[in-house]
Structure 1
Amino acid sequence: MSKKNSDEYWKQREQDEQDWINENIKNDDDFNKHLQEYYQELIDRINKDISNQLIRYAEAEGADLSEARQRVSDEDVKAFENKAKSIVRKAEKIRKRKGFVSRSDFSKEINARMRLYNATMRINRLEMLKAQIGLEIMDTNLDVHDDVDQRLSNDYLGELKRQAGILAMYESQHNYKDVAKVIMAQTKNATFSERIWANTDVLKANLDRELTQAIIRGENPRELASRLRKYVAEGVGNVTNVTERIARTESARVLNKAQIESFKKAGYKKCKWVAEGSACKICRGYALDNDGIFDIKDLPVWPVHPNCMCSTTPWYKKEEE
């Protein structure tokens, strides 16, 4: 293609990229609000499960929390099984919509946890409660995973389209498998999917421990409910922060992939690092060193760090041909 060689043009391109970064940051904030809604619903459901299984039971029956170690009722088992079936149906619906398992391969994650919960939930009311909380977390994970997957797909394809417009190229057609390879690529030996599940596994383990210790201590039901509400809110809050960081960082990774693919396809050998407004010292250094110009093959690994929102533009000067 014919490459531009006007200083004014490249200055405008850099300003346009800064504007795009700012728009991307706003979109990221909007997506985070969406995630926060999922996790607030999770907090509400976990607290409801705790209340139903322990607090209401103990107060209504006049029993103490030692009764939590008694056998669960057939009614509780049936309710658990119905909830589990609804989660499996949701997972299958998402899988069919995606077209194939490898796009969002959470099937093995769900199956492994279902086997564990089905094996333990009949032991006593405490184990039933733990299993119920596990189901609530899985239910939320399905929604979060699906939305993050869709965001990454849209980001990658959207950036390919944006770059095609900027570089005056025909937009390439990508099938689902091509997109899946980009989205599900490992970074530091883990995919975004594995990181999301590992993140909530920590929450589940911490809640299990707190519940078990509360039963051993024989805490007052009302005091236990109050303390656990705060603990649940804090734990889910930590999960929310980590998930937001995962989504933001993975988004930067697929955007970078789309940009570099586009630059190479258009015949560019160099690009310019564009640091976002609140960039860290490392990223600002990249933007200042040699005026941010890099051979594409020598471009620093991007994102440089979690939450990195920097970008790149193609760069060319006629005298370098």
Structure 2
Amino acid sequence: MTTTISAVMNNLDSYPPPFRHQNSQTHYPDQVNSLSDPDPIPVIDLDGLNQNLDEPKKLEEACREWGLFRLANHGIPLTLLSQLHDLAKEIFSISFESKQASTANSPISYFWGTAALTPKGTALARGSQSINWLEGFNIPLSQLSEFEHQVPMLDSFRVLLEEYGNHLSRIAGMLYETMAKNLDLNPESSKPYLSEETGIVRVYRYPVNSDADAALGMEVHTDSSVLSILHQNDGVSGLEVLRDNHWQTVKPLSDSLIVNLGDMMQAISDDRFKSVKHRVKVNKQRDRISICYFVFPGEDVLIQSSTYKPFSYNDFRTQVQKDVKTLGYKVGLERFKINEDSN
């Protein structure tokens, strides 16, 4: 089915104001670029981690070589994933002003034009070229019970997220346990490095852009998490990862998840595993919606490493926010490397 120009125009008030002009100039048919090229992303079978001796080895190789992999047999019902995306589309379709107002004084935050970790207004202060072409909701899963009375608009979404969060916690725990074994980490001392209480979901919309080559949905970055677990839907491509100095498109296959390692996992592994650089391109033809789960160490848990000075996630986050505010970009792990000036 083709989206009509009037439908696009009627939906313009759902976009943040700076995004509206690029969505009204040109109409494109409701189709996406061909994704028929072979998919080189390594595939890990979650069921196989406990049943197949080769699967943990494949996971270790993916963590070392890619910092990212596709997860099959994850156990999340496809109907749940479909419902989450359908509701996300509905929520994003309401007016920009309503979305801004809906999360006031609630645990949820609405953001646009910049990553959720970036201090408000930083990107805008640096000029329009620094605006990421996205909007989203940041949802701390440990506070879902507070959403019912504070954010009625998201109540149906809350119910689905409770089920989804349980699956994500299970998956992250299984993956981390295997990774810790591959790294020969002490099970007891390394367990706090993955804290279920820190789990958050970010729901993103990357608006269609008639000049997609002139904007990035999200600039090149690494995640600050231990693990990030992403679900893409609708066959709308956009996510790209850097491998061997070339950008590789990550196909949006709705029956699988994409897992990437973040900075905390790289530090925990003494750089044996990599925090993958990635970016998001915007689409000329359709909005792209993705749902990503991030999990971290307990905020004050010290990460002990032979490569980095002892630091907590709270230390790391504070430093990142300081660097983004003063320098305009994230420095990340380099700030904590042993024998390197961190000032």
Higher relative contact order (Cα pairs below 8 Å, separated by 6+ residues): 1
TM-score (norm 2): 0.27
TM-score (norm 1): 0.29
Tell me which structure has the larger Cα radius of gyration. 1
Which structure dedicates a bigger proportion of its chain to strand?
Answer: 2
Which structure dedicates a bigger proportion of its chain to helix?
Answer: 1
